[in-house]
Amino acid sequence: MAENMSSEPEQQARPPPESVQPPESPGSVTVRAARVDDMPRIHTLIHELAAYEGVPDGPRLSVQDLVRDGFECPSPWFFAVVAERGGQLVGYALCNRAYSSWTCRALYIEDLYVVPDMRRAGIGMKILQHLCQMSLREDVHRIDWHVLDSNAPALAFYDRLGARDLRRTERRAALRLDRHRIEAVAGHRHHHAPPS
């Protein structure tokens, strides 16, 4: 997913506030800010999401990368929220604070995933509600994310929420420079051979 991240340093260094939840009943789901000790499970869920999307070998990050980039650097590169049921993480969203030259503060959702046996139980909606509530507290004016064209259930769900498909409403394509192209452009080697 494409990233357009920057934010005020003091805001990015703060983790999102913990959600205020009533005491958990056995079947209830709590959405809260992710902690360092959640990173091994989030790492596993990242790989489950990649397999669901048909690219099981796609993720190349380690648990330590998540810990370093989310918790150990002065300006974290991401934050995450998790959905927990009965002490088990059953979903997560991995997000970045972003900035729009049109609307100011924004959030970008890199991943939103719920384990298969917990889908259609309102967990994805709880995660999005948590992110929207946090966004209102932080004066965020938009939330962006990408969805695979082939993920019809997700597209239908987001459509019901009122999310706009930017391919239609703004005719925007999502673009990305991968690491080898970043190195090429940084070194003034602009000519590109198509990927094999």
> Per the structure block, which two tokens stand in for 46?
């990242």
User: Strand 104-114's sheet: what is its strand order?
Assistant: 29-33, 79-85, 88-100, 104-114, 142-145
Phi, psi torsion values for 21, nearest 5 degrees: -125, 145
> Per the structure block, which two tokens stand in for 27?
């079947």
Residues 44, 36: Cα–Cα separation, whole Å: 14
**Mean pLDDT score of the chain:** 85
Stated as kind and residue range, the H or E segment containing 50 is helix 39-52
Per the CB < 8 A criterion, the answer to whether 12 and 97 are in contact is: yes
% of the chain with per-residue pLDDT over 70: 83
pLDDT of residue 193: 61
Residues 85, 118: Cα–Cα separation, whole Å: 10
Burial of 131 (0-12, 13-18, 19+ CB in 10 A): buried
**Which of 92, 108, 113, 158 is an active site residue?**
158
Distance of CA 13 to the CA centre of its chain: 17
Segment 71-90, tens digit of pLDDT: 999 999 999 999 999 999 99
Secondary structure letter of residue 72 according to DSSP: I
Segment 26-62, tens digit of pLDDT: 479 999 999 999 999 999 999 999 999 999 999 999 9
108 given a catalytic annotation: no
Q: How far is CA 187 from CA 2, 61, 190, 195, in A?
A: 22, 25, 8, 19
Residues 114, 92: Cα–Cα separation, whole Å: 7
Segment 100-119, tens digit of pLDDT: 999 999 999 999 999 999 99
